[in-house]
Amino acid sequence: KQEVTQIPAALSVPEGENLVLNCSFTDSAIYNLQWFRQDPGKGLTSLLLIQSSQREQTSGRLNASLDKSSGRSTLYIAASQPGDSATYLCAVKGPGANNLFFGTGTRLTVIP
Amino acid sequence: DAGVIQSPRHEVTEMGQEVTLRCKPISGHNSLFWYRQTMMRGLELLIYFNNNVPIDDSGMPEDRFSAKMPNASFSTLKIQPSEPRDSAVYFCASSPEPGTSGGGDTQYFGPGTRLTVL
C-alpha cells in the first residue's frame, strides 16, 4: 500500500522568507501528485498537480517539483505571507485508480 | 457553482445513535469520494463511487459504516451504531471523468462534517 510522509509536521517562519515543504512516497508507480492547502475548519483546495511525466509545476509564488524515481516531491513557497498560513498536504494517485493517498500534512505558520 | 455541499457541518451525538452524513457533489462530476480525517491517521479514503456505483469500499472501517449514492447528485454516509472512536471530520469530494483534460485529475472537496460521538 502506498504510504505518503510529510516533513516537517509543523513549520513557523517570519514573513518574507522562502521555504520548502517535503513529501515522500513509497511506491514510485504513481499517476500524479498533488499539493493541497487546508485552512482551519475548511476543506482542501488543490494548489498544484504534477503528472508523473512532469518534473515541476508553478503557480505564482508556488513551485512544486517531482522526482518519481526517488519518491519525493517538494513545494517551494517564495516570499511567504501571513495569508499562506495553513496546512499543506500532498497526495499521490496510483495508475488505474481514482483514489488519492494523502500525507499527514505540514502545518505552516507565517509570522508577520 | 456552489461547490461540493455537505450537511450537517457539525454533528454531536451519543454513542449508539445512528448518524447520517450527506453530500451533494458538483453537477456533472461522476466520481464521489468519502474521506475521514483524524489527528492520528490523517486523511483516509473510506469509499468512492463512479457513476453512482461503489468502486472501492476497502477503506470502510467495519460493518457499522455504509454509504449509498442513489443518484448523481446525492450521497449519504451512515454510521450505525456510532462509537466515540468515530469522532472525526468527514469530507466528501467529487471529480469529473478521470483523464478529462484539465480538471479530471483533481478532486474538489466539501467543507466537511465534524462528528463528535460522546
CB contact under 8 A, A98 and B91: no
Check pLDDT > 70 for residue B101.
no
CB contact under 8 A, B42 and A42: no
pLDDT per position as a tens digit, A34-81: 999 999 888 899 999 999 999 999 999 999 999 999 999 999 999 999
* Lowest-confidence region among A13-22, A24-33, B14-23: A24-33
Here the cell at position B9 is 457541518
Here the cell at position B33 is 469520494
List chain B residues with CB under 8 Å of A91: 43
Residue B72 to residue A64: CA distance in whole angstroms: 34
Check pLDDT > 70 for residue B90.
yes
Here the cell at position A47 is 494548489
Q: What is the pLDDT of residue B2?
A: 79
Here the cell at position B69 is 449514492
Pairing of strands A32-38, A86-93: antiparallel
Residue A17 to residue A36: CA distance in whole angstroms: 20
Q: Which residues pair with B47 in a beta bridge?
A: B34
Amino acid letter, A75: L
CB contact under 8 A, B33 and A99: yes
Q: Nearest CA to CA, how far is B105 from chain A (Å)?
A: 8
Phi, psi dihedral angles at B4 (to 5 degrees): -75, 130
Q: By the CB < 8 Å criterion, does B38 face chain A?
A: no
Q: What is the pLDDT of residue B100?
A: 52
Here the cell at position A3 is 504510504
Residue B45 to residue A4: CA distance in whole angstroms: 13
**Burial of residue A18, with CB atoms counted within 10 A of its CB: 0-12 exposed, 13-18 middle, 19 or more buried:** exposed
Nearest to B56 among A36, A44, A99 (CB): A99
- Tell me the three state secondary structure of residue B85: helix
Check pLDDT > 60 for residue A86.
yes
Mutate to test the interface with A, among B30, B106, B114, B115 (most CBs of A within 10 A): B106
Higher-confidence position of A27 and A99: A27
Q: What is the pLDDT of residue B98?
A: 62
Mean pLDDT of all residues belonging to chain B: 91
List chain A residues with CB under 8 Å of B107: 44, 46, 100
